[in-house]
Amino acid sequence: MKLFLDTAHLAHIQTAHDWGVLDGVTTNPTLAGKEGLAFSDLVKAIADITPGPVSAEVVAEGRDEMVAQAQELVKIADNVVVKVPLTREGIAGGAKMTELGIPINVTLVFSPAQAILAANIGATFVSPFLGRVDDVGGDGLALLREIVDIYAVQGYGTEVLAASLRHPQHIVEAAKIGADVATMPFAVMDKLFNHPLTDIGVERFNQDWEAYQQSLRK
Ligand code: E4P
């Protein structure tokens, strides 16, 4: 399972890239709005850090306007993937984009039926929002499982990108279910490293190494 960051914060993207674990980045208008940079400059700066796919969302409402925006977005860098919402206009625009060879990520997906639409227009990624389903008393992981199962039965080429993940266990369960990608906030990726026994183990090994070196000097 590939690991993406769900952020537009350049320092966090650089850190995850330097860790060697960053496979791509997803952004959305809310995340972009926090960074104080023009959107095209922001997307360019993200794409300069990671060679992996960088999702940039269209914000137009009509199909043709979305396609026009998408054509501008993909000029920013070779690894830009255009995010389209799962609305009628978004799917119509996304279908046109895939026809034009523009890779798309269908976002704001909350049902298996919607995920079928995304696969049928040849999306590169489909993004079910697990955390937001959980927020309204649903079962985000069950949604993910249904989509992964349907895609396997149908042999769809669209990659399932588990989104709106809130904690490390979401990542573990998404991997067990068979998601192709998990996108997460920086704080969640950072937590994937943590285990108290690792910290205790490192400290003990360092102490033992020091004692060993001292014993050689005697
Ligand atoms: C995915 O691409 C979205 O940007 C994201 O995962 C939304 O997450 P949120 O529900 O935490 O805002």
Ligand 1 environment, Cβ below 6 A: 6, 26, 28, 107, 127, 129, 131-132, 163-164, 183
d(C-alpha 133, C-alpha 48), whole Å: 33
The residue-averaged pLDDT of 199-210 equals 98
| pLDDT tens digits along 71-96 | 999 999 999 999 999 999 999 999 99
As a whole-number percent, the residues of the chain with pLDDT over 90 amount to: 99
Which residue has a Cα nearest atom 1 of ligand 1?
163
Task: List, in order, residues 6 or more apart from 201 with CB less than 8 Å away.
Answer: none
Residue 172: the pLDDT is: 98
What pLDDT score does 205 carry? Answer: 98
Predicted confidence band of residue 136 (pLDDT cuts 50, 70, 90): very high
pLDDT of 61 above 90 = no
- Confidence at 56, pLDDT banded by 50, 70, 90: very high
Q: Give residue 176 CA to ligand 1 midpoint distance, Å.
A: 20
CA of 195 relative to ligand 1 center, distance in Å: 26
Give me ligand 1 centre to Cα 189, in Å.
14
Q: Which of 109, 57, 64 is nearest to 82 (CA)?
A: 57
What confidence score (pLDDT) does residue 168 get? 98
Residue pLDDT, tens place only, 12-40: 999 999 999 999 999 999 999 999 999 99
User: Over pLDDT 70: what percentage of the chain?
Assistant: 100
Q: Evaluate if residue 218 carries a pLDDT over 90.
A: no
Give the pLDDT mean for 39-61.
97
- pTM for this predicted structure: 0.96
Spatial contact of 188 and 153, defined as CB atoms under 8 Å apart: no
187's tokens: 């704080």
